[in-house]
Structure 1
Amino acid sequence: MEHDFELLEELTEARGVPGYEDRIREIVRREFDETVDRVRTDAMGNVVGTIEGIGDGNESADGSESDDGSESDDGSESDDGSYSVAVAAHMDEIGFMVKHVTDEGFLQVDALGGFDPRVLRAQRVTVHSDDGDLTGVIGSVPPHTLTEEQREKKDEVEDVYIDVGLDGDAASEQVAVGDLVTLDQTTVEMGELVTGKALDDRVCVFQLLEAARRIEDPDVTIHFAATVQEEVGLRGAQALGVDVDPDLAIALDVTVANDVPQIGDESKQVTEVGEGTAVKLKDSSVITNPKVNRRLRDVAERREIDHQLEVLPAGGTDTAGFQNTHGAKPVGAISIPTRYLHTVTESAHVDDIDAAIDLLVAFLETETGENDYTL
Structure 2
Amino acid sequence: MTAVFRSRRVRALVVATGAALLVNRALRRRVEESPLWPMPALEEPVSGAGRPGRRELLVIERAEEAEGVVRLRLEGERLPGWEPGAHIDLVLPSGAVRQYSLCGDVADGGTYTIAARLIEDGRGGSREVHEQLHEGTVVEVRGPRNRFRLADCHAYLFLAGGIGITPILPMVRQAEREGVPWRLLYYGRSRVSMPFLAEIEKLAGAGGDRVTVVAEDEDGRPDLAAVLAGAPPHSAVYCCGPQPLMDAVAELLPEGLELHTEAFAPAAGTTGGAFEVELRRTGATVAVAGDQSILRAVREQALPNLPYSCEQGFCGTCLQSVVEGDIDHRDELLTDAERHDQMLICVSRCHGERLVLDL
Name the TM tier (shorter chain). Answer: under 0.3
If each structure's strand is expressed as a fraction of its own residues, which one has the higher value?
Answer: 2
If each structure's helix is expressed as a fraction of its own residues, which one has the higher value?
Answer: 1
